[in-house]
Amino acid sequence: MSVSVVSHSPSWRVFSFSTVALAVGVGLAPLELQAQAVPAEIAMSAWVEDHRDEALELLEELTNLNSYTLNVQGVREVADVLTPRFKALGFDVRWIDGSGFGRAGHLFAERRGSGTKMLLIGHLDTVFRPEDPFQTYERIDEATVKGPGVSDMKGGLVAMLQALEALESEGLLGGMNLTVAMIGDEERIGSPRDLARGDLVTAAEWADVALGFEGLEIAETAAVARRGGTGWTLTTTGTRGHSSRIFTEELGYGAIFEAARILDGFREELAGEEFLTFNPGIILGGSEVERDATGNAGQASGVTNVVAETATVTGDLRTISAEQGERVIARMREIASRNLLGTSATLEVRGVPSGMPPRESNYRLHAIYDQASRDMGIGPIEVIDPMRLGGADITSAAPYVDAALAAIGGMGAAAHSFDETLDLRAMEIRTKLAAVFLLRLSQGAYTPG
């Protein structure tokens, strides 16, 4: 099978949906638009169109289940809805208890056959807490729904499942080599991190390719590169005393000046490096500082004429690879060690971020996906700049597989906000495309190595 030539330009080109793509997505275009697709692929696309209502019913059911990462029962309820559906497709399904890393757990489904070993990755959890006002699925119009997690990523779970069901409808699923990993703590990874991601890494070590079904806000794109992330906490200390003696040998500079020096050092020495971002999200400083167990809230007290005794800063770090992560963390620690007079600092990092660098093998996998889209009449699938993306579990798997492709699920807008929406046309397009892509991979379109 021929594949399209994909530009590796650092400009990371992106385009919007074409009229043809939108027509295919709502089932208005005749199937002859898919002139280069084989009959089985055309039949799977028709099956997806015929089962549109079932997809929406499942999406609504999943969306109305609150599955905030720390809502253990809610995450498990989403898994319970999906479990019988995967079993009906002949998958061996298992729940992996997450109590050892402080989370609900993960849902894994496996089918063993021959050919390319594929790892499909999604997640069960969302960022919306049970007490948030945003809790229910809402149909906005024929093309749009709104609700907590519809885009990130319950729409992607529905697309993944329906793609597999479409394959089964044509008798094509039976011989495929698949592991589906549905992670329960993508939004807030449990601790220890190695345990929280251990089963995913094991699955990746088995697989040839990893496919991430999280979606995007930009149509007709996919990701050959995606950054991994981690969190960090900076704690500084100073000598408490009357502010009239700050900067002296007796008191030095205080904890807040030391925290400011370090943060500005991060900015001055590291900002601008390719694929790297780091963000101090919360800072507290004064005579006394208290943080809650999550690290996302706290309080500080002090007075203006007393040198600050302590300060804490929490933030995130995103890198394209573990190698970049290790190097940057070492540099951050070195910057934190250059203490001002009368101060000290410690930098705690919650593990080295992994990442999915833009390898040549990822571009080859993308070329197959792009060609399938062209053959179906959808149009080209462009490569998206990884700086436009957040984190995803595929970054934990990517180092262990021959090739990875991310962001192939549904598309929406305003993820993680109370305005989160999903484009139903895009979800249907991506469902059809996923089914064809998986079929072609199972038939040897991609050769590892």
Domain map of the chain by residue range?
Answer: 19-225+358-442, 228-349
Residue 3 has a pLDDT of 31
State the pLDDT at residue 390: 81
Whole-number CA gyration radius for the chain: 24
Q: Is 240 helix (H, G, I), strand (E, B) or coil?
A: coil
DSSP-derived secondary structure letter, 173: S
231 neighbors 365 (Cβ within 8 angstroms): no
Name the strand (E) or helix (H) holding 110: strand 105-111
218-269 pLDDT tens trace: 778 999 999 999 999 999 999 999 999 999 999 999 999 999 999 999 999 9
Among 3.20.20.140, 3.30.70.360, 3.50.50.60, 2.40.160.40, name the CATH number for the domain at 228-349.
3.30.70.360
Q: How large a percentage of the chain has pLDDT more than 70?
A: 92
What φ, ψ does residue 173 adopt, rounded to 5°?
A: -85, -30
What pLDDT is recorded for position 36? 64
Q: Structure pTM?
A: 0.87
- Spell out the residues 6+ positions from residue 13 whose beta carbon is closer than 8 angstroms to its own: 7, 382, 383
The overall average pLDDT reported for the chain is 91
Is the pLDDT assigned to residue 11 strictly greater than 90? no
CA-to-CA distance for 36 and 43, rounded, in angstroms?
A: 13
Res. 363 pLDDT band, cuts 50 70 90: very high
Q: How many CB atoms lie within 10 A of CB 174?
A: 11
Per-position b or e across 242-262, b if 16+ CB within 10 A of its CB = eeeebeeeebbbbbbbbbbbb
pLDDT tens digits, one per residue of 191-211: 999 999 999 999 999 999 999
Query: Strand pairing partners for 227?
Result: 355
* CATH 1.10.10.10 assigned to 19-225+358-442: no
Question: What are 35-91's pLDDT values in tens digits?
Answer: 566 899 999 999 999 999 999 999 999 999 999 999 999 999 999 999 999 999 999
